[in-house]
Every structure is written in structure tokens, then in C-alpha cells.
Amino acid sequence: MSAAFCLWCRPGIDHFQAETIIRYTEGLLRQQCFRLLVFDLADTVFMDSAGVGMMIGLYREIRAWGGAVYIIRMQSGVRRIYRMAGLHKIIPCYEDEAQFLAAVEGAEPGMRDKMRLTMNAIAENEYFARVTVAAFSAKMDPTMEELSDIKTAVSEAVTNAVVHGYDGKGGNVEIRAEIRMNGLEVEIEDEGIGMDDVELAMEPLYTSRPETNHAGMGFTFMEAFMDELEVTSTSGQGTKVK
């Protein structure tokens, strides 16, 4: 693990405290003393917009140096503004030092945790797939809306593999998920019949099986509920959705 600097914060992070933290931390940064900054908020019960701005500013500066920012032991009084300001999307939070070290030590650059699941391509496993990925992503402290978006996108991708990739005849579906510094990354891959024209398949209402009751909106839903969508496919070799 890269050199880390743990900053214990006072009970209140207001404009004055935020400016003090910035001056102190930037001085150490210029000396390249550390690459990981950890805010210890065990005693912090108040933080206003100045504190949020301070954390975002330091996050950007440290990221530019190839480093990362974390929070540990956050109190409930600060958690609301942490989520309201969207800090949870860029600065991960851990319950204590042990959880932080377990997640960070030995991880790939930018990665906090990962999972891998291989399952049979049957309709009964669609529920299992979306619940498993949602449970894995829960450590990011997502909102209920974000959890719903994740489950919908995963469900659509797995359904495509079962129905279109293997034509309902069975096979394997592999799910890989990583919790990274900038969010959740999910890959769902099959070794089915693949697609000749990915662009056509991604058009709204298009379906390779018009005789069924599928609406042809799977990729449209995935694009709508996820920030980015990448689909690669080779005829006769399978499809990967990321």
C-alpha cells in the first residue's frame, strides 16, 4: 500500500477548519509525503459546505498525483451531508481502520473490492444474479434508487444471455463486478451465439426473437440506468456487456 496520511478532524468542520486543513495538507502534498489521504471523522459531528468543498478540492488534487482519498469512522450527523453532496460517489467510507486496511491493502490501483460468479444460463438464476450484485454493491452505501438501477441493468443483461445468447438451451453466464474509486463496474459475459450487428441489436424495440413476448428494450434499459454501457460480441463466440 502507498504511504498514507490519516487526518483526525475536529468535532466541527466549518470554513475556518476547512481552510486550516487545506493549508496543512497541501504543504505535505508538495513534499510528496503521501499518496493516500484518510479523513478520520470519529469525533466530527458537524460539517458544512466549506468542509464538502475542502474534501472535493483535496480529492481532485490527490487524484491528479495518482493518489486516493478515504473516510473512516464517519458519524451519523455527517453522513447525511456526505450523501447529499455526492461525496459517497468519489470518496469511499469505511467503518473503522481494520475495514479500510482490508479493502485497500493489495488492491489493484483504483479498486476496492471485486467478485466473480459463474452460473447456469437459466431463467431461475436471473433473480439470483441481480440480488447478488446488489448485495455486493451495498458496501458502497448506494441509495434505494441506485440499487434498483443496478438490479434492473443486471437483470436485463442476464436475461439477454439466457434468452438470446443461448436461445434458452442453457450454458454458462459469468458475472464480474468491481467496486472502484469512481463507482461500480459490472461485466456480464456469455459464450452463446453472439451477434453479427451489435448496433442493430441495441436499437430500441429490436429483438432477435419476435415470436416471443420480449419487448426488445433490454439494451435501452441498461443504457438508461447505467452511466456507461459497452457491448462487444462475436458471432458464434458470445457477448460481453460492461
DSSP-derived 3-state class of residue 231? strand
224 in Cβ contact with 178 (< 8 Å):
no
Q: Which of 64, 86, 104 is the last residue of a domain?
A: 104
pLDDT at 1: 44
C-alpha cell at 145: 434508487
C-alpha cell at 37: 489521504
Q: What is the pLDDT of residues 218-234, one digit of tens each?
A: 677 777 778 888 888 88
Query: How many domains does the chain divide into?
Result: 2
Q: Ramachandran region of residue 235, left (φ > 0), alpha (ψ -120 to 50) or beta? A: beta
DSSP-derived 3-state class of residue 35? coil
129 with 90, same domain?
Answer: no
Q: What is the pLDDT of residues 118-166, one digit of tens each?
A: 989 888 888 888 888 888 887 777 788 888 889 888 988 888 888 877 8
Model confidence at 206: pLDDT above 70:
no
67 with 173, same domain?
Answer: no
For the entire predicted model, the pTM comes to 0.53
Residue 189 CB neighbour total at 10 angstroms: 20
DSSP-derived 3-state class of residue 229? coil
pLDDT at 3: 66
Q: H or E stretch including 26?
A: helix 15-30
Q: What is the DSSP letter of 212?
A: S
pLDDT at 74: 92
Residue 79 sits in which domain range?
Answer: 4-104
Q: What is the pLDDT of residues 50-62, one digit of tens each?
A: 999 999 999 988 8
